Amino acid sequence: KEAALALEAHSEELKAQTVALEITQQELEAAYEAERAARAEAEAANEAKAQFLATMSHELRTPLNAIGGYAELLLDGIRGPVTGEQVQDLERIRRSQRHLLSLINDILNFAKIEAGKVAFNCRDISMHDTLSALEELVAPQLKEKSLIYNYYCCDPSFTAYADPEKVQQILLNLLSNATKFTPNGGSITVQCGATASEMSVEVTDTGPGIEASRVESVFEPFVQLDRAHHSTHQGTGLGLAISRDLARAMDGDLRVITATGKGSTFILSLPRSKIKKS
């Protein structure tokens, strides 16, 4: 009799455990369905955001390009002679148009990266050819602030495996930041180095540097440095975030070494061409 009672108790215990397991299984399935629904909702929201930003950017860029085009026509005298004062006004219109266009392009590029829709065309690229072409592209900004530009040539054999257009975009963004925050008469230095597996490019400025408490946040989207003395250069705060995302998408990285009052050195790392992806 005692054995029968024990067996019955054991059976009841097994039934209870089975019910508990079924409940747990149902809870897990419900949690999985909720997680899947949340993920699908997030993906749909991200797609909608990307589509909205792409549409908005296109709609804004069209009239801005028209503004720039007509300003160029007037500056070229196509519509007749213009006075010196009118030339100055047209130059201001053109600068403002370019500034707005760059902001819109930043937003569009960030939206594409967030949505995973940026295409990369990685191949072997010469670091010397890439870096030696930079000075000409930023010459107007350098001249405007009387900045000294130093480029220490790379070994001609130094090659990286990366998308040349994305690399140029990153470097131009770093140089743009350097020119913004370097005082008149300061200097900007570009140089590169290599290890067995990695190429690195350093962009160093003689600007005010970045506070230690803010170093980790400068690569976050929509975060801007202290621009109290650079109010005419405010932007979206997306440039460094976009640059780091692009670098990481090419199996590289972007980091900074800085100290208040001692300038900043942004370091772009890229894989050397010999370690290609299969």
List Cα–Cα distances, 201 to 204, 205, 265, 270, in angstroms.
10, 13, 10, 9
What pLDDT, on the 0 to 100 scale, is given for residue 224?
Answer: 64
What pLDDT, on the 0 to 100 scale, is given for residue 231?
Answer: 41
What DSSP state is assigned to residue 154? P
What pLDDT, on the 0 to 100 scale, is given for residue 229?
Answer: 43
Q: Percentage of the chain with pLDDT > 70?
A: 92
* Distance between CA atoms of residues 59 and 197, nearest Å: 43
Strand partners, 202: 191, 267
**To which residue do tokens 């002679």 refer?**
81
pLDDT in tens, 197-256: 999 999 999 999 888 888 878 888 776 655 334 444 456 678 888 999 999 999 999 999
What pLDDT, on the 0 to 100 scale, is given for residue 230?
Answer: 45
Order the strands of the 264-271 sheet from edge to edge: 148-152, 187-194, 198-205, 264-271, 253-258
Dig out the tokens for 201 from the structure.
């490019």
What pLDDT, on the 0 to 100 scale, is given for residue 237?
Answer: 73
pLDDT in tens, 173-183: 999 889 988 99
What pLDDT, on the 0 to 100 scale, is given for residue 129?
Answer: 93
* Distance between CA atoms of residues 86 and 95, nearest Å: 14
* Distance between CA atoms of residues 58 and 273, nearest Å: 36
- Give the chain's mean pLDDT: 85
Contacts with 243 (C-beta within 8 Å, 6 or more apart), sequence order: 169, 170, 173, 174, 254, 268
Residue range 59-77: mean pLDDT, rounded: 88
What pLDDT, on the 0 to 100 scale, is given for residue 278?
Answer: 42
Dig out the tokens for 263 from the structure.
């300038």
Question: By the 8 A CB rule, do 203 and 178 touch?
Answer: yes
What pLDDT, on the 0 to 100 scale, is given for residue 276?
Answer: 45
Indicate if the pLDDT at residue 46 is higher than 80. no
* Distance between CA atoms of residues 99 and 70, nearest Å: 16
Dig out the tokens for 277 from the structure.
């992806």
pTM attached to this predicted model:
0.69
* Distance between CA atoms of residues 237 and 222, nearest Å: 4
pLDDT in tens, 98-122: 878 888 888 777 777 877 778 899 9
Q: Residue 85 corresponds to which amino acid?
A: E
List Cα–Cα distances, 170 to 41, 84, 117, 174, 269, in angstroms.
32, 37, 18, 6, 11
Residue range 133-150: mean pLDDT, rounded: 91
What pLDDT, on the 0 to 100 scale, is given for residue 160?
Answer: 96
Q: Which residue has the higher pLDDT, 160 or 37?
A: 160
Indicate if the pLDDT at residue 21 is higher than 80. yes
**Rg for the chain, CA atoms, rounded:** 28
What pLDDT, on the 0 to 100 scale, is given for residue 182?
Answer: 93
Indicate if the pLDDT at residue 168 is higher than 90. yes
User: Terminal CA-to-CA distance of the chain, rounded, Å?
Assistant: 72
Pairing mode, if any, of strands 264-271 and 253-258? Answer: antiparallel
What pLDDT, on the 0 to 100 scale, is given for residue 227?
Answer: 39
pLDDT in tens, 72-101: 899 998 889 999 999 999 999 988 888 788
- The count of residues in the chain is 278
pLDDT in tens, 252-276: 999 999 988 889 999 999 999 864 4
What pLDDT, on the 0 to 100 scale, is given for residue 63?
Answer: 87
Indicate if the pLDDT at residue 2 is higher than 60. yes
